[in-house]
Amino acid sequence: MNVVVIGAQWGDEGKGKIVDYLAEDAQYVVRYAGGPNAGHTIVVDGKQYALHQVPSGILYSDKSVFLGSGMVIDAEAFFNELQMLKDNGINWEGRVFISDRAHLILPRYRQMDKDRDAQRKRPIGTTGRGMGIAYSEKAHRDGVRLADLDWAEKMAEFDGEDKAYLDKYRDQLISMRVNMAAKMHEFKKAKANILFEGAQGAMLDLDSGTYPYVSSGASCAAGASLGTGIGPHDLDKIVGVFKAYETRVGNGPMPSEFNNESEGELCQYVRDTGREYGVTTGRARRCGYLDLVALRYACQVNSLDGLVLTHLDIYDAMDQIEACVAYNIDGKIVTDFPANVEELNRAEPILEKFQGWKTPLKECRDFNKLPKQAKEYIKYIEDYTETPITIVSVGYERNETFIRQNPWKK
């Protein structure tokens, strides 16, 4: 069975934890998009692991993980990450593989990425990891893939720093290289459980996100097919992870963002309580009310079978919480998510109030034991998005997770 996990907002929704949680029932975990700009945090027995390129299932000693064809790989950062895992007692040797169709990020791409963003009239707010340049080179048909590392004519095109870099990591990369399409066919015949891990979020997808303030890869559900080597017909379940509120890193529209002047205290409370600082960059994330207009749009364009709600416990101490249920754009009430950036920038959130629960949700170990007010909030989200919330997370640990509908069951 093939299960896809995507972010249903602007990234940082808690995908790492959910992939780690669901990986227990998978044989293989495949990351299908993105690169070193992603930051997936996992907490196991009080110990925190920050992953960027290695799929989140690596913490299970019996799982093999794959970096898919849709990824762009920073080899230096990748091997540093593997060393970090080894230093923390995670034996990854023989369990980590990379698609031969994945592209490589060259060192000079990082500065090029920063320079290009600085020259834009409307900067994107890039992480500066070279992602955009790598994907641009890929689109221009000038990129370099793992499959090209033993293509003499292609390698002859590189000199200086580029050649030294590729030479340094060539043998290590080749030793981990696999034909991803062939592997996926092999897994299908074996009827294996495969978990597909997305990066960033649906609203940062190159086509369906808030363009041009998006990532360069396919962070949508369809990316699981594009970035691995299987057809969309073989994707059995798609779940989207979202937080009980909204965050965004970098520039771009965010209609439900807290107003710094009138809601600055609330913003800081959510940011600090939710630890809303980038795993990759350390940047403080922009915070706001849960945007149900955007969430319903993400459910629709990704055909989500279920939603995974995280960070619900952040609201434990609040008497009242609010969520955005529509936009006011130039006096018009809008409930369909617009493509026009100027309209999104002018959008004023229309908020619905909900009673708080004033109860520490971390003490609950069963969905049925959640307070009535929390259940009402969940039910409202389900009704609005027309999508069931199948998993609820109330903390960082694996056991602080409630399964309502197991995605591994048909």
* Cα 293 to Cα 256: distance, rounded to the nearest angstrom: 10
Residue 239 β-bridge partners: 5, 306
**Catalytic residue (choose from 12, 100, 113, 205):** 12
Amino acid at 150: D
Give the C-alpha separation, 256 to 294, whole Å. Answer: 10
Angle of the 108-119 helix axis to the 131-139 helix axis, nearest 10 = 90
3-state secondary structure 281-344: CCCECEEECEEHHHHHHHHHHCCCCEEEEECHHHHCCCCEEEEEEEEEECCEEECCCCCCHHHH
3-class SS at 56? helix
Using CA atoms, how far apart are residues 354 and 127, in angstroms rounded to an integer? 35
Residue 357: name the closest of 313, 307, 394 by CA.
313
Which residue is catalytic, options 20, 25, 40, 330?
40
Count CB-CB contacts under 10 A for residue 322. 16
- Collapsing DSSP to helix, strand or coil, 177 comes out as strand
Q: Is 12 a catalytic residue?
A: yes
62 is catalytic: no
In angstroms, the CA 120 to CA 404 distance is 46
* Residue 385 near residue 296 (C-beta atoms within 8 A): yes
Nearest Cα to 377, choosing from 365, 392, 397? Answer: 392
| Residue 157 vs residues 6, 12, 104, 148, 166: alpha-carbon distances, Å | 37, 38, 15, 11, 12
The DSSP bridge partners found for residue 177 are: 98
d(CA 356, CA 376): 10
Tell me the catalytic residues.
Answer: 12, 40
